Amino acid sequence: MMKIKSLLLFLIIGVVFYHAQTLNIKKNSLEERTYEELEKEFYGNHTDEENSKSIANYYLKKAKAEKNTTHIAEGYVMLHFDEDLPNALKYLDSLQYITKNSKENTYPARIYLLRGNLYSKNDNLQSAFNNYILGLKYAKEKGNKRQIAMAHISIAYLNNYIGKHAETAKVLRHYAYDADYMNEDEKNSLKLNLADAYIEINKMDSAYVLIKDGLLDSKKNKDVYRYHQNLGLLGYYNLHSRNYQKAIDGLLECEKYFFTKNNGSKRNHNYTLLYLGKSYAGIQEKEKAVGFFRKIDSLVLKTNYIYPELRDVYTYLIDYYKENGDKEKQLYYVDRFLKVDQVLDMQFRYISRELPRRYDTPELQQEKESITNELTKRKSLFYIVLSLLLISHLLFINVYFKYKKSEKNYKKIAQDLIQSVNENKGEKNRDPEVRNEIVAESIQTENIEDKTSRTISEDIAQNILKELEIFEDKDQFLNKGITLGSLAKKIKTNSKYLSEIINTYKGKNFATYLNDLRIDYAISRLANDKKFRSYKITFIAEELGYNNEQAFTLAFKKRTGTPLSIYLKEIENMSLD
């Protein structure tokens, strides 16, 4: 007997020592982690409630020791999960107190959204709705897109509760596909609930695609919980499609998973049993259907989780026991039905009345204002564009008339040039005075003694002028690459003397002198030589000694005052006349 007592004492001491060691190891493990690491483990852990509480308690203790207000707030958030309603609300009250002066754009909206979720979880839909409305208000004030989204989504689920499935689907579809600020887990959850809404509004193909994608993706990522959520929804899809046996096969697998180690939520438990009961009712296995519906009643009594489909559950049970003559159970389920129906009716009437008044109407009003502002902006933009078009049109008209006026002047100059060429036609020697007449330009002739620089003798000046006359008469100016230096060398003088003679006797520098000779030649030859003017401008420019077409056309306009194109056009017009 003493041996047994000693053995028991040894075992108890061993267990206590092991537990103490385990706690010490866990504490040391937590102390080594940063706030971010603790948050990641806490929010990534869906099943181990005890470990989650340890993390949350240590997180808050660490934050308080360091007097870190931001992390103290997060600690209260973490601790409120998995608590009963009164304790959870106390943590959220502490959160509200610690963040009352917070500059973060997540507060105070986060507090009301968390309260809304808490009340929704505990089936107080009136309080849930009121908090969601406040959360939406503050989220809009702070411009927090994610919180606005969360409020809209939560209210969409309430719309689903009162039967507005199409409106729910519209909101969920938007945030599942058009909101880049939603993470993958949130999008997966939205698609799951969207598939459920699609079934309710008979968009079966769309629902099936989402469910199949959800099954494949969760299997690929080894997300067992989400896989069974989608499998349960596939069961509802098959139930709705009257493929009862297929529904039963999948739902039995879900029942096994969700009811093992409390893997599922209240919703998972209730709706798995509900769909199984309805599927068995569909194949007329009434006893099995009643068995699942009775389990639902037990869950409702235990958790007080009330939802609209319970009416179908109790109606089926009442009718079943009525058919079997069991008055006692019939009366019991009538009483249960009336109590549940009273709660449902009260919630339904409140949500149905308040949701349109406090959510739909303000949202529509905001949408109306948004559309009005958009139209006003469009109208303003239209007037700005119209004004710009009018201004540009007026500018165009102004430019057009200026162009027409310039074109008229250009034509007149071109016609005068052609007339001058015709008047001098037949003259073989084109002395400087004749060329100057062509372009309506005259140079006064003065005595050589007055013009010639004292540094240049009269004989040298006369000799240079004679050489220039030969240069002009033999059209040597048409040669390419002529420079002041090359011409001075050719006529056996120096560049300085040549430049001074040209400046003095021709009244221009060498470059202008050379250009004027070439353009005067072009004026005459283009007017008189039909074949020459039929050549491309590039070839004509090359013939005149220019390196490119642009240099020729610019020199022509500068010399004559009219563009080359108009001059050529007027030659053709006068030839036709």
Q: Which residues of 77-87 are buried (b: 16+ CB within 10 A; e: fewer)?
A: bbbbbebeeee
The pair of three-digit structure tokens given for residue 212, joined into one six-digit string: 């199949």
As a whole number of Å, the end-to-end CA separation of the chain is: 145
Task: Give the pLDDT confidence score for residue 28 in this predicted structure.
Answer: 54
Main-chain phi, psi angles of 206, to 5 degrees = -65, -40
Q: Alpha-carbon distance 22 to 478, whole Å?
A: 107
Q: Where are the beta strands (DSSP E) in 407-489?
A: none
pLDDT given for residue 365 in this prediction: 64
Tokens encoding 255: 């029942």
Two tokens, residue 485: 């230096």
Residue 259, both tokens: 């009811």
Q: State which amino acid sits at residue 550.
A: Q
pLDDT of residue 17: 43
Q: Output the pLDDT for position 410.
A: 86
Peptide bond preceding 108 in cis form (omega within 30 of 0): yes
pLDDT of residue 357: 79
Q: Which residues are CB-neighbours of 402 under 8 A, at least 6 positions away?
A: none
The H or E element spanning position 483 is none
Question: What is the C-alpha to C-alpha distance for residues 94 and 109, in angstroms, rounded to an integer?
Answer: 15
Closest of 72, 76, 54, 50 to residue 63, by C-alpha:
72
Residues of the chain with pLDDT under 50: 1-25, 428-453
Half-sphere exposure of 218 (CA within 13 A, CB side): 21
